[in-house]
């Protein structure tokens, strides 16, 4: 006798807030095809996209839905009022902002570490190293 593993639907609720009826998402009673248009994104009917965005704009779980879509990398459909390309652009910007922040933090640490030795700082960032006296010329 074999037993099948039971799917824990309650665990999946945390992953996608639209799947939890307790959240009462605005898209719960809408046609799913509205949120998953057929064809390539650039060819979607913009009136249908606008309709989907309007439904998302009045949704009580919009923020949860957006966070889930960004964390999961949902590649399809209009989720939280955003298309896949819009979500990708937001992800790229967030990644670049995080990278820039990390670089600024590292630069700040280097500057603080070498504050007493300007020549060491120049060796780090100027190639070939230029003595500070040359700046005055």
What's the pTM?
0.66
CA angle centred on 71, ends 24 and 59, rounded to 5°? 25
CA distance 68 to 55: 18
Residue 95 has pLDDT above 60, yes or no: yes
Give the per-residue pLDDT at 38.
87
**What percent of the chain is predicted at pLDDT more than 90?**
42
Reported confidence tier of residue 7, pLDDT bands at 50, 70, 90: very low
Residue 7 is classified by DSSP as: P
Average pLDDT, rounded, for the chain: 80
Residue 60 is classified by DSSP as: T
């Amino acid at each position: 006798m074999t037993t099948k593993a039971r799917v824990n639907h309650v665990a999946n609720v945390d992953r996608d807030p639209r799947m939890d009826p307790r959240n009462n998402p605005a898209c719960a009673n809408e046609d799913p095809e509205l949120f998953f248009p057929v064809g390539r994104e650039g060819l979607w009917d913009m009136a249908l996209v606008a309709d989907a965005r309007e439904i998302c704009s009045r949704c009580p779980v919009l923020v949860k839905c957006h966070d889930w879509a960004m964390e999961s990398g949902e590649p399809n459909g209009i989720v939280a009022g955003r298309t896949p390309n819009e979500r990708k652009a937001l992800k790229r910007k967030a990644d670049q902002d995080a990278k820039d922040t990390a670089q600024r933090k590292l630069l700040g640490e280097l500057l603080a570490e070498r504050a007493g030795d300007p020549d060491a700082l120049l060796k780090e960032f100027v190639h070939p190293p230029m003595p500070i006296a040359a700046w005055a010329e």
